[in-house]
Structure 1
Amino acid sequence: MKFARTLRRNSTEVEKRLWSILRDRRLAGHKFRRQVPIGPYVADFACFDARLVVELDGSQHLEDAARDTRRDAELARRGFEVLRVWNSEVSDNRDGVLDLIFDALSRRAAPPSSGLRPPSPIKGEGHAAPSELYEDKK
């Protein structure tokens, strides 16, 4: 969607600040995308594995709360939880914002996969029984 691309190119300073933390799986290994279309809307940040949207709100959102309510309802219908965070909170309480996002991720998603598989056993070696893995060291 062209509009989403334009929003990515014209990010606000607050969006850039939060994106620097969420990008590249930096927050507990969860993958976020920014300015991503979901249905008829463009989410500021979305983690599809957790079905979580993080919206940064400025003062313009005070003027049209009904629009945000409709938008949140549509995203919820599509299975997303929406976290709304004031722009000032990212600047004034960054750790609190990250805790809020992390808590929502913890509730909604399994731990992220590293994409790595454990090594195959060497030929002739099998898996140890659970009791052999946890020896009692007395």
Structure 2
Amino acid sequence: MRSAPTTTEALLWGALCGSQLGVGFRRQLVVGRFIADFAAPSARLIVEVDGGYHARRVRADARRDRELGRLGWRVVRVPAELVLHRLGDAVALVRAALGVR
């Protein structure tokens, strides 16, 4: 686990923490053999902030998402660039995954 979040994780966390979307999120939650950037246990939703290196990890990320799905979790991937430049749109992706308007 990392003690310090990335800039994009810190920005998104500011929008997710404190049940602002109607569910409680946790940072760096261990789920199975993975560590989720953010997770809403009550909604079984994981939010991953994908930086530039994720473009090279498409297959590994897909395998990870499938395994998390088998554990009963849904995964939404939010591009870091979206968080940096259009935080409201990034939060809208999470809201949509939660079914929140």
- TM-score bucket (shorter structure): over 0.9
1:69 to 55, 62, 65: 62
2:75 to 79, 82, 90: 82
2:10 to 9, 16, 25: 16
Q: How many residues are paired up?
A: 100
> Higher RCO, 1 or 2 (CA under 8 Å, sep at least 6)?
2
Largest Rg, 1 or 2: 1
TM-score (norm 1): 0.69
Q: SS in structure 1 opposite 2:42?
A: coil
> Equivalents in 1 of 2:80, 2:96: separation in Å?
19
Identity %: 39
Q: SS in structure 2 opposite 1:43?
A: strand
Q: State the superposition RMSD in angstroms.
A: 1.2
C-alpha deviations, 1:19-39, integer Å up to 9, x for none?
111111122x21000111000
> Equivalents in 2 of 1:58, 1:17: separation in Å?
13
Matching of residue 55 in structure 1 with residue 48 in structure 2: yes
Question: Given residue 20 of structure 1, which amino acid in structure 2 is its aligned partner?
Answer: G
How many angstroms does 1:18 deviate by? Answer: 0.7
Q: Which runs of 5+ in 1 are unaligned?
A: 108-138
2:25 to 24, 32, 52: 32
Superposition misfits of 4+ residues, deviation over 4 angstroms: none
